[in-house]
């Protein structure tokens, strides 16, 4: 069905390779780490020195999001002496993209030799004791999106989130005096926010936050050999916890309010993550 995914014009891997070639031309092959920034969290890119910004529409093969809060540009620069790549905005499964298209950029990052991947997102909080603005390091996820970016027989048969990088994030957060919780992220298909019953289901399954991204990218990044870590910004209580209606405006407002704290954590953590990644072997079996 569909032929060999690893060969042939127009195949998912061929499209990722085409994007990788474009990224090499921009200098992405020199980058140690890639960051994918979620809704309202793209301001971190301003911390990079000697940066070059390229709109997605100028990068052949780069999927483009139409969701507010996603700037839609790739930024390459230096932080603490390390070259990093920042993806300001992502595409989502609910926008009509396939799982392969959602993860095309992550695949391409791995193809050009980027060794580490830090995913971020805005998420709804399932726990009543976590107020909006809480930062949560993802320790594992539940993929309820009904799709996978993996091919038959491909790797990724383990928790995709690297414990060594997770420990580094925890240590940096403590050093910077920033609270960083840990928990399980539940990835739903969207685009509608979860119903109170769905939030209760997520809670009973062990979830701590719900959202509409990240799980496919983490899975593909791990399978591509990258060391993966991820942080959720809890921008709102999930449905049914407070009884109030949810809105994307609330997500954006909370993201803006927590931006300085979030960016402080990333600015301190990324150089340390680059150093820690150098001592971690390839994830592929």
Catalytic residue status for 283: no
Residue 257 burial by CB count (10 A; 0-12/13-18/19+): exposed, middle or buried?
middle
Q: Directed axis angle between helix 248-277 and helix 163-175, to 10°? A: 110
Q: Annotated catalytic residue: which of 15, 65, 82, 92?
A: 92
CA distance 83 to 89: 19
Catalytic residue status for 136: no
Catalytic residue status for 58: no
Q: Annotated catalytic residue: which of 94, 147, 154, 257?
A: 94
Q: Annotated catalytic residue: which of 34, 39, 62, 217?
A: 39
CA distance 220 to 224: 6
Q: Annotated catalytic residue: which of 248, 252, 253, 259?
A: 248
User: Which of 30, 79, 218, 25 lies closest to 137 in space, CA to CA?
Assistant: 218
Q: DSSP letter at 242?
A: S
Q: Annotated catalytic residue: which of 45, 122, 226, 269?
A: 122
Catalytic residue status for 62: no
Q: Annotated catalytic residue: which of 20, 34, 202, 212?
A: 212
Contacts of 1 (CB under 8 A, 6+ apart): none
If one counts every other C-beta atom within 10 angstroms of the C-beta of residue 204, the result is 8
Q: DSSP letter at 208?
A: S
Q: Annotated catalytic residue: which of 65, 70, 193, 239?
A: 70
Catalytic residue status for 94: yes
Catalytic residue status for 175: no
The residues that are catalytic are 39, 70, 92, 94-95, 122, 212-213, 236, 248
């Amino acid at each position: 069905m569909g032929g060999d995914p690893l060969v042939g014009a127009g195949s998912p891997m061929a499209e990722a390779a085409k994007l990788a070639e474009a990224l090499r031309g921009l200098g992405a092959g020199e980058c140690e780490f890639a960051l994918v920034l979620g809704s309202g969290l793209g301001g971190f890119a301003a911390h990079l020195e000697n940066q070059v910004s390229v709109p997605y529409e100028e990068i052949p093969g780069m999927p483009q999001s139409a969701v507010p809060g996603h700037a839609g540009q790739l930024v390459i620069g230096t932080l603490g002496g390390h070259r990093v790549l920042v993806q300001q905005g992502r595409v989502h499964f609910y926008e009509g993209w396939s799982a392969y298209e959602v993860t095309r950029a992550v695949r391409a990052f791995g193809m050009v030799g980027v060794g580490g991947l830090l995913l971020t997102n805005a998420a709804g909080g399932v726990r009543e004791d976590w107020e909006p603005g809480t930062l949560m390091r993802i320790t594992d996820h539940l993929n309820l999106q009904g799709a996978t970016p993996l091919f038959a027989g491909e790797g990724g048969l383990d928790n995709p989130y690297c414990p060594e990088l997770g420990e580094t994030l925890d240590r940096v957060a403590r050093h910077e005096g920033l609270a960083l919780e840990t928990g399980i992220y539940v990835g739903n298909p969207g685009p509608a926010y979860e119903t109170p019953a769905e939030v209760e289901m997520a809670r009973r399954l062990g979830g701590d936050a719900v959202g509409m991204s990240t799980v496919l990218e983490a899975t593909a990044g791990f399978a591509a050999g990258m060391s993966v870590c991820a942080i959720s910004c809890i921008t709102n209580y999930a449905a049914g916890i407070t009884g109030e209606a949810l809105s994307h405006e609330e997500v954006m407002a909370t993201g803006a309010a927590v931006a300085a704290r979030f960016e402080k954590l990333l600015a301190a953590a990324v150089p340390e993550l680059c150093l820690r990644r150098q001592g971690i072997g390839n994830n592929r079996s």
